[in-house]
Amino acid sequence: MGEFHDTLESRDPAERERALLSALPGQVAFAQANAPAFAEILAEVDAAAVVSREALARLPVTRKSELLALQIQRRAGDPFGGFAAVTRGPAMPRVFASPGPLYEPEGVHADHWRMARSLFAAGFRSGHLVHNSFSYHMTPAGAMMESGARALGCSVFPAGTGQTEQQVEAMADLRPDGYIGTPSFLKILLEKAAELNKPLPFLTKALVSGEAFPPSLRDWIAAHGVQGLQCYATADLGLIAYETEPREGLVLDEGVLVEIVRPGTGDPVPDGEVGEVVVTTFDRTYPLVRFGTGDLSAILPGPCPTGRTNRRIRGWLGRADQTTKVRGMFVHPGQVAEVVKRFPEVARARLVVEGEMGADRMTLRVECASPPVGLEQRVADALREVTKLRGEVVVVGPGELANDGKVIEDARSYR
């Protein structure tokens, strides 16, 4: 407790907020001037006026699907779709691809993806040898983690994926201090080591990512001598949040501004409510302003027990894109939000789609403390106007809808 990667982690929360907000106008202006896509997306925005979270919330959210569509549309002239602020050459030493494919540039500065902070929290230190089992082929995961480890002063064995037996042999010979990779592959390596009678007592720590890390798997790995912590990062944004030793949520990275918004909209939700993670970075290679990750999470109350003062999120809670086809028509979370906005007395809503395939029924459940007479019919009329589909409306009391980020619940039977 009390050991931090740098002084930023323990600074006063008000000081951190001032620093983030003071950097916002410059980053918005930079994106407008240097990333052609944001010159269009933010064309009507006065960058100098974006000095608060409220002002930021008025800017459009650019979601991953939209970024991919723009990349595909403009690929002949610019494979980055106008989102990169640098061009090929010395300012862009490497280019990576993620599924889609999405192409991401790497910048020149050390620890471009800011991963060192999460590695430090997981116990990695200068002089350690890191066994890196993230892919080095096309995708950036291996390079993301290696850049962070090298920034800490660690040596790295670039194991990559596959070749399980050879990886265990290398571990037995090199005696790494820790592992980086997916938690499921770490389990495979530990099982293979036991099968080969190659004990790995020196392997005591791990930073895992890329997939869910449920308590059952965490406990299994711990029973084999490895304490694993997780981080939340993407190829577009780098590190977003990281776990600390108490395992009470994930602490937000110091280099991003994170909002939690209602799925399908850009509207921030109250702390504690599940919504989509939207991130603004301060990177000058690939500046992303209000980038919608498509992931669900929620802000946790209170500070981290380690003394880190940044806000915490609950971790990955599912996907925010809940677009559903009903009677041959697509219904989007944004359409549900549009209906709700017409009725100030409605706090939240959840569209439940039920029935056997081909016989869909829609029910919009809305939270309202004191429903006025005729509310159900008026909301039903608005639902039909917005979605072009009929649906029943049921009014429930405040807090009766589950806090799981779902705006559309597909409860149909597909058997």
* Interval 109-126: pLDDT, tens: 999 999 999 999 999 999
pLDDT per residue over 246-287, tens digit each?
Answer: 999 999 999 999 999 998 889 999 999 999 999 999 999 999
Q: Do 373 and 261 share a structural domain?
A: no
Residue 331 lies in a domain: yes
Residue 255 lies in a domain: yes
List the one residue out of 396, 409, 317 whose CA is nearest residue 361: 409
Domain with 331, as residue range(s), is 324-410
Which residue numbers in the chain have pLDDT < 50? Answer: 1, 415
Residue 197 lies in a domain: yes
- Supply the pLDDT for residue 318: 82
In three-state secondary structure terms, 276 is: strand
The pTM (predicted TM-score) of the whole model is 0.86
d(CA 247, CA 225): 17
Q: Residue 99 contacts by C-beta under 8 Å, 6 or more apart in sequence?
A: none
Residue 314 lies in a domain: yes
- Supply the pLDDT for residue 121: 98
Token look-up 């910048």 returns: 107
Count of structural domains, the chain: 2
Q: Looking at 319, 338, 372, which one is the last position of a domain? A: 319
Residue 21 lies in a domain: yes
Residue 7 lies in a domain: no
Q: Do 384 and 281 share a structural domain?
A: no
- Supply the pLDDT for residue 1: 44
Q: Do 336 and 231 share a structural domain?
A: no
- Supply the pLDDT for residue 358: 53
Q: Do 314 and 332 share a structural domain?
A: no
Quote the tokens at residue 370: 């004191």
CA angle 183, 98, 69 (to 5 degrees): 135
In contact, 346 and 367? CB cutoff 8 Å: yes
Residue 60 lies in a domain: yes
Residue 6 lies in a domain: no
